[in-house]
A = this chain, B = another copy of it.
Amino acid sequence: MLNRDDFLGARRRIADVLDPTTPQYSRTFSNYTGHEVWVKPENLQRTGAFKVRGAYNKLSRLCAGGARPGIVTASSGNHAAAVAWAAQPFGIRARVVMPEDAVQSKLDAVATYGAEIILHGKYADERKSHAREIAEADDCVYIDSTDDEDVIEGQGTCAMEILEELPDVEVIVAPVGGGGLMAGVSRAVTVAAPDVKTVAVEPTGSSSMYQSVRAGAPVEVDVQTIADGLRTRKPGELPFSYVSQCVDEYYQVSEACIVDSTLLMLQRMKLLVEPSGAVAMAGVLDGAISGSGRKVAVIATGGNIDLDDLSSLIAGGLQYEWGDSMRPE
């Protein structure tokens, strides 16, 4: 399994191209929860999501020594943009299998970075199979968005940064979709700061990782959530293995809580996050962290939401009665 030096190596690699995302303290959310709440704003990361950490780390290892393999990946969103972006400095051919009903803005982003787009199917498993077939036929490298140790190593750099930026952090909270981020974060914390707790938050409507951990092996579940980045029907073996061994606690949040968290982070922290990016905070606001006064780092994973979709969320308004301390300040 990955060790501390692996994550430190990944940190050095990504430091060449990625800007730091400085944790931001939220007095509002701290007052409301009784903890000291910091946000790691990966929505401010290049391409608007943490995914570039894993993608760039992967390609950096693949292209070491001047190799220039063609690559193929499959994604509906942030991983697609991340791979396309990361491929640019290496001058390699990148192809991305995206769903036939992909959002225009995501297609635009991938095209802007110069990757070739192949439209195929609607579900992740269809896309991935197709991408693997292309890779095999063309002697290219298939890059999975989560079931890949180099990708997991890259995502772990997010936790390594938090441990440096907030040296006395006690809890790190992240969302789980495919589990690549959670695998990297929980493993990095286990090997670099074993006293720090990790909490994994999933939508109640898409909790394949929690169900798998309970079952002792990856299981398939139905998924139904607004958090489009977390719609994973069945986790991969590798992220499952890491998460089940390294994560301390699990928590599930409702759809209403995810929407409210998205709106509250916008209104109170002035940060635009996509629903998937608000899931970890939704857990914290809903009471995932026991006790009081703990120093908590919450990973806001991405900010790629169409403004029209944001308008729809605003029109729906807040769903909960949040109490006085959540009033405008």
List the interface of chain A (C-beta within 8 A of B): 19, 22, 24-25, 27, 41, 43-44, 46-48, 105, 108-109, 112-113, 263, 266-267, 269-273, 303, 307-308, 310-311, 314-315, 327-329
Contacts and interface: CB of A to CB of B under 8 A. Distances in A.
What 6 A-B pairs are tightest by C-beta distance, nearest first? A270-B303, A270-B272, A311-B311, A43-B270, A307-B314, A109-B328
A44 B270 contact: yes
Given A44-B270, A266-B307, 14 more contacts: A22-B22, A27-B46, A43-B270, A47-B329, A48-B270, A112-B327, A112-B328, A113-B329, A266-B272, A267-B307, A270-B273, A270-B303, A272-B272, A307-B314
Contact of A271 (B263, B272, B308, B327): B272
Contacts of A27: 46
Number of this chain's copies in the complex = 2
Nearest to A269: B44
Interface centre among A27, A271, A307, A328 (most CB of B within 10 A): A328
A50 to B, nearest CB: 13
A44 B19 contact: no
B271 A270 contact: yes
16 contacts: A22-B22, A24-B44, A41-B270, A43-B270, A44-B270, A47-B329, A109-B328, A109-B329, A112-B327, A113-B329, A266-B307, A270-B303, A271-B272, A272-B272, A307-B314, A308-B314
Nearest to A329: B112
A109 B105 CA distance: 36
B272 A328 contact: no
- Which one of A19, A105, A314 has the highest number of Cβ atoms from chain B below 10 Å of its Cβ? A314
Contacts of A310: 311, 314
A19 B38 CA distance: 13
A13 to B, nearest CB: 20
Nearest to A310: B314
Contacts of A308: 314
Contacts of A263: 307
Contacts of A24: 44
A158 to B, nearest CB: 16
Contacts of A25: 19
A109 B25 CA distance: 19
A44 B266 CA distance: 11
Nearest to A107: B328
Given A27-B46, A46-B27, A266-B307, A108 B327 contact: yes
A19 B266 CA distance: 19
A266 B48 CA distance: 12
Contacts of A314: 307-308, 310-311
Contacts of A329: 47, 109, 112-113
A228 to B, nearest CB: 16
Nearest to A47: B329
A262 to B, nearest CB: 11
